[in-house]
Chains A and B, each alone.
Chain A
Amino acid sequence: MSMVHYPVLERRVGDNPWKLASTGERRQRSVPREPLPAGARPAQPLPDPSDWSFELIERYHAAIAATAERFGLDTYPNQLEIITAEQMMDAYASVGMPVNYRHWSYGKAFLATERRYRRGHMGLAYEIVINSNPCISYLMEENTTAMQALVIAHAAYGHNSFFKGNYLFRMWTDASSIIDYLVYARDFIAQCEQRYGMDAVEQVLDSCHALASFGVDRYRRPVRKTLARERLEREQREHYAQQQVNELWRTLPARPGKDAPAQAAERFPREPQENLLYFIEKHAPLLEPWQREIVRIVRKIAQYFYPQRQTQVMNEGWATFWHYTLLGTLYDEGWLTDGVMLEWLGSHTNVIYQPPVGHRAYSGINPYALGFAMYRDLQRICQHPTEEDRHWFPDIAGAPWLPTLDHAMRNFKDESFVGQFLSPRLMRDMRLFSVHDDASAQELVVSAIHDEEGYRSLRQLLSQQYDLGTREPNIQVWSVNLRGDRSLTLRHTPYQGRPLAEDTREVLRHVARLWGFGVQIESVDGEGRPVQLYAVPAPPG
């Protein structure tokens, strides 16, 4: 069968994921070594009434944009959208996206958000920003002028340049087509609901959501597609995919001399598969074409969010660093009044507050605080290096700070960013320490603190803490019983002896629903032998 007729197939092999298109929006701009000089000092600062107006937003934006330009921030074009608090909650509920398909879990998220907001337990985020081209930032109607300025600097320049620059986003997400894809997904799922009933669609979506974080390719880049192509290709894909599946499950006896006899003994899949949803989409025997398409949609959207999950510290830190730097510069150059300055500094301080361990509000490391501190620290290392810095970071100590930060933003994810740039000085400032918790021991042990012996270990541990590979259990498709009961076996390889949580059986039921036959999961024990944990029979019907 010629591939030409089925361009829909993802060309997963032979497509070099590391090669980036070098034209258009994706072209890298060079970063100046030093910020470019400021323009003329304004006669008077921008007005600062607490109520914003469109004209004011434009003026603030112009000032911020000009300053960002001087620092060489490379962004997608900006689209600022003014929305109400209610709409903000809507956006929250549908994972921040302006359109999305309908599902009860988003309703649940909405209800939870709404309730907490109404009771005053939480403020809404000041902004939501969407990795799209143009980059959409939501400004809340309730914000004051100063807050709008903060949000513009933070989202429209900080996050925006991160989305455009960071390698994970460049490789995994296609900013120009995500909105189109979501529109397509919403329409498709709405059609399915009409045709096959809400319950049927809901069940498939539930099952897919249970596996969403195991529906990502961790190492390969997906092919980019436009909405039109996506639509056009769906039908062909459905047809073809079904054919492939049928082929796999063929039960005709092998013709002597024609079919290789070794085929029967061959294991399937030949190698373990990490992308559970992809495997199900391509090989589940009983799925209807529309169900396969839904699996695909959930998988694609999960893939789109995959970089965000890996760059929280970097992304928030970068945006925070830039709103701090941009607004600070504007103030120094006489654009902002003292009132505006104090107001945004107030919010800024709240955002980067890191309660110490044991504090009532402590819930782990605040990614804003850590990210912001790290970029500031990097800037310091470039501008005012100490002896220690020269020893630890010989490459960047004393180097121009703009290109250094740009490099740090583009080429890392949280895990490697911390591993590379967390300095001893910052560890001391944050008074980091690590606790070793072995469930088999009676007590916890403080394994490292911010001292000479502890720096490397601390840095490594913190880096690991941001590694998705260790945060989520390692589960792969191990084998399928092709000639017997068609059951699917998943294999869990424990990391540091951590067992799976209780709801694993529930998840397995979802897998079984998609797979259509029995599913079991086994875990590799200390000696490398697989031990069966749970088995779920084929779903009825």
Chain B
Amino acid sequence: MAVQIIDRRLAGRNKSVGNRERFIRRYKQQIAESVRRAVAQRDIRHIEQAESISIPQKSIREPVFRHGPGGIRDTVHPGNADYVRGDRIARPPEGGSGQGEQASGSGEGEDDFTFTLTKEEFMQLFFEDLALPHLLRTHIGDNPQWKSRRAGYSQDGTPHNLAVLRTMRGALGRRIALTKAAQRESQALQAQLEALRAAGDGASEAATGLQRQIDALKQRMGRVPFLDPIDLRFRARTQVPVPNSQAVMFCVMDVSGSMDQARKDLAKRFFILLYLFLTRHYETIDIVFIRHHTQAAEVSEDEFFHSTESGGTVVSSALVLLGDIMRARYPVEDWNIYVAQASDGDNFSNDSGNCRDLLADRILPLVRYFAYVQVAEEEQNLWEEYGQLLPLYPHFAMRKVAQPGDIYPVFRELFKKEGVPV
């Protein structure tokens, strides 16, 4: 019997993507709300992960005409143990899985429809209405990066770019154009010659003359080259400038004794969110971690988040280091620079003015965006000094964050699409 075995494993994966998208689109409101909750609550190290979302079953039910409870029902069941005809059975409690209704043995209630958003979908929703302020790509003149694109055909080029089809098409046209007249003429002559031959004059003077003419024409046609240099066409490529797509993110954090674990945690979340956001907009991102107490140091990510220090705080030390690294390794022509600074606002009292000057003179002119979050309520001198910069630099922002739930709104506000005037 005819059989056909087809291996479909490689074809048509993810056929349901379209359906899935439609589902998420339809329930965006509820899903976005869940995402917001998840971001506010869940452990940050797992921020960029799939998330399971619950939607009330009721709101996604597809209604159909069906029987409701009530009326008379006769049902047949298997596995009779000891009933005989006429036995009376107490009615099972309402809502129980009594009368052949399907029992929810899956362990979760019928109330919620739960499913898992993929990491991508989760982040998509998370960043949905955010865009970086000043997301102006570094100007073309500033950073010449070029990409080669197809640009039609040209008459000259290197052999490996030869467009054979185009070339042959052109050659064919040229051959037809150059030989058509001669061909027509030779056909006419040929006809005359045939006529002469038919009349028995095949060997006459006129016939030989005609034959000669025909031969001459044929020779002329034969001299039209099959391929001529003017036929050649080459695939042309042109260089187009592409905007720079690399960014560097500086994370600056106070790790002095006054920054306890909870405060650090808040800062941590902020950094991670910024990082995730940048990953959506730039192909390559460098991160530089600078921590400071009285002295600043560039450290690894692990050290940055997990080691504890004690002692006083000199914020300017970090800013100096920041400026140095920026100048040495991340020339502003090639990099989009973002800085996120987190602190509890505590600073060595004479240092804050110094910080303001450093920012204004050395750092803010070079960066795309500078965000400062204070993870404590009380306003100290650093907050005041920074506050003076706020009206002067539209790409400078500062906010206070008191608890994990605040992070997301603050983050949104900082990067709201129209929030910062350009």
A contact set with B: CB distance below 8 Å: 54, 57-58, 61, 65, 68-69, 75, 77-84, 86-87, 89-91, 93-94, 102-108, 110-112, 114-116, 118, 121, 134, 141, 156, 198, 202, 206, 209-214, 354-365, 430-439, 442-451, 453-454, 458, 461-462, 464-465, 471-473, 475, 494-504, 506-507, 510
Chain A residues within an 8 Å CB radius of B23? 104-105, 107-108, 110-111
Nearest 6 Cβ contacts at the A-B interface: A356-B79, A107-B23, A498-B71, A107-B19, A501-B68, A111-B115
Report if B283 contacts A (CB, 8 A): no
Residues of A contacting B: mostly: mixed
Residues of A within 8 A of B165 (CB): none
Bound form: Cα–Cα A210–B265 in Å: 49
**A444:B64 contact, CB within 8 angstroms:** no
- Nearest CB of A to B105, in Å: 7
Contact with A along B30-69 (1 / 0, CB 8 A): 0000000000000000000000100000001111111111
B160 on interface, CB distance cutoff 8 Å: no
What residue of chain B has the Cβ atom nearest to residue A102's Cβ?
B18
Within the complex, which residue of A68, A118, A446, A496 is in contact with B87, where a contact is CB–CB below 8 Å?
Answer: A446
Within 8 Å of chain A (Cβ to Cβ): is B329?
Answer: no
Q: List the B side residues contacting A112 at CB < 8 Å.
A: 113, 115
A82 touches B100 (CB 8 A): no
Which residue of chain A lies nearest to B15 when distances are taken between CB atoms in the complex?
Answer: A90
Cα distance A54–B105 when bound, in Å? 38
Inter-chain contact B85/A453, CB cutoff 8 Å: yes
- Closest Cβ of chain B to A494, distance in Å, is 7
Question: Are A451 and B115 closer than 8 Å at their CB atoms?
Answer: no
Whole-angstrom CA separation of A448 from B9 in the bound complex? 51
Chain B residues whose CB sits within 8 angstroms of the CB of A355 once the complex forms? 79
- Interface status of B6 (Cβ within 8 A of chain A): yes
The answer to whether B63 touches A433, judged by C-beta atoms less than 8 angstroms apart, is no
A524 to B210, CA, bound (A): 103
> Does chain A have a CB within 8 A of B206?
no
User: Could you tell me if B72 and A443 are in contact, using CB atoms closer than 8 angstroms?
Assistant: no
Q: Which residues of A contact B392 (CB under 8 A)?
A: none
Give the size range of B's interface with the partner: 35 or more
Q: Are A115 and B3 interface neighbours, CB within 8 A?
A: no
The answer to whether B13 touches A365 (Cβ under 8 A) is: no
Chain A contacts for B70, CB-based, 8 A: 439, 497-499
A385–B258 CA distance with the chains assembled, in angstroms: 91
Contact B65 A432 (CB under 8 A): no
Q: Which of B1-15 contact A (CB under 8 A)?
A: 1-9, 12-15
Instruction: Indicate if B388 sits at the interface (CB-CB under 8 A).
Output: no
CB distance from A355 to the nearest CB of B (A): 7
A461–B4 touching, CB < 8 Å: no
A501 engages B67 (CB within 8 Å): yes
A107 touches B74 (CB 8 A): no
Instruction: Note all chain B residues with C-beta closer than 8 A to A503.
Output: 61, 63-64, 66
Most buried by A among B2, B60, B79: B79
Closest A residue, CB atoms, query B92: A444
Q: B309-362: which have CB < 8 Å to A?
A: none
Q: Is B302 an interface residue (CB 8 A)?
A: no
Contacts of B7 in A (CB 8 A): 54, 81-82
Cα-based distance from A447 to B84 in the complex (angstroms): 9
24 residue pairs bridging A and B, Cβ less than 8 Å apart: A77-B2, A77-B4, A79-B4, A104-B26, A105-B19, A105-B62, A108-B23, A115-B52, A121-B106, A209-B62, A213-B64, A356-B81, A361-B105, A362-B103, A431-B81, A434-B75, A444-B91, A445-B89, A446-B87, A462-B76, A472-B65, A501-B66, A501-B68, A504-B63
B residues near A, CB below 8 A? 1-9, 12-16, 18-26, 52, 60-81, 83-91, 97, 99-100, 102-103, 105-107, 113-116
A448 to chain B, nearest CB (A): 6
Asked, given contacts A65-B1, A355-B79, A435-B74, whether A202 binds B87 with beta carbons under 8 Å apart, the answer is: no
Are A439 and B78 in contact, CB atoms less than 8 angstroms apart? Answer: no
Minimum CB distance partner of A422 in chain B: B76
CB distance A115 to B25 under 8 Å?
no
Beta-carbon nearest neighbor of A429 in chain B: B78
- What is the chain B residue whose CB lies nearest that of A359? B79
Whether A111 pairs with B20 at a CB distance below 8 angstroms is: yes
Question: B16 touching A107 by the CB < 8 A rule?
Answer: yes
Q: How far is the CA of A444 from the CA of B185 in the complex (A)?
A: 106
* Chain A residues positioned under 8 Å from B60 (CB to CB): 108
Residues of B within 8 A of A54 (CB): 5, 7
Q: CB distance B65 to A116 under 8 Å? A: no
Are B106 and A104 in contact, CB atoms less than 8 angstroms apart? no
The docked-state distance in angstroms from the alpha carbon of A147 to that of B116 is 30
Bound form: Cα–Cα A495–B68 in Å: 12
* Cβ–Cβ contact B89 & A444, under 8 A: yes
Q: List chain B residues, Cβ under 8 A from A464.
A: 74
Please indicate the chain B residues that have their CB under 8 angstroms from the CB of A106 in the complex: 16, 19
Can you name the residue of chain B whose Cβ is closest to the Cβ of A370? B78
Q: Which of the listed residues A202, A364, A365, A451 has the most CB atoms from chain B within 10 Å of its own CB? A: A364
Contact A75 B1 (CB under 8 A): yes
Contacts of A507 on B, CB cut-off 8 Å? 63-65
B8: which A residues are within 8 A, CB to CB? 81-83, 87
Complex-state Cα separation, A79 to B5, whole angstroms: 6
Q: Which residue of chain B is the closest to A434 with respect to CB atoms? A: B76
Question: Using Cβ atoms and an 8 Å threshold, which residues of chain A touch B116?
Answer: 111, 114-115, 118
- Contact of B78 (CB < 8 Å), options: A365, A442, A448: A365
Q: Which residues of B contact A80 (CB under 8 A)?
A: 3-6
Contact of B88 among A87, A211, A443 (CB under 8 A): A443
Q: Are A114 and B115 in contact (CB under 8 A)?
A: yes
**Which residues of B sit under 8 angstroms from A506, Cβ to Cβ?**
63
Contact call B71/A93, Cβ cutoff below 8 A: no
Give min CB distance, B366 to chain A, whole Å.
44
Taking CB atoms, residues of chain A closer than 8 Å to B21 are: 107
Q: A105-B62, A458-B76, A500-B67 are in contact. Are A87 and B6 (CB under 8 A)?
A: no
When chains A and B are docked, how far (Å) is the Cα of A437 from the Cα of B64? 24
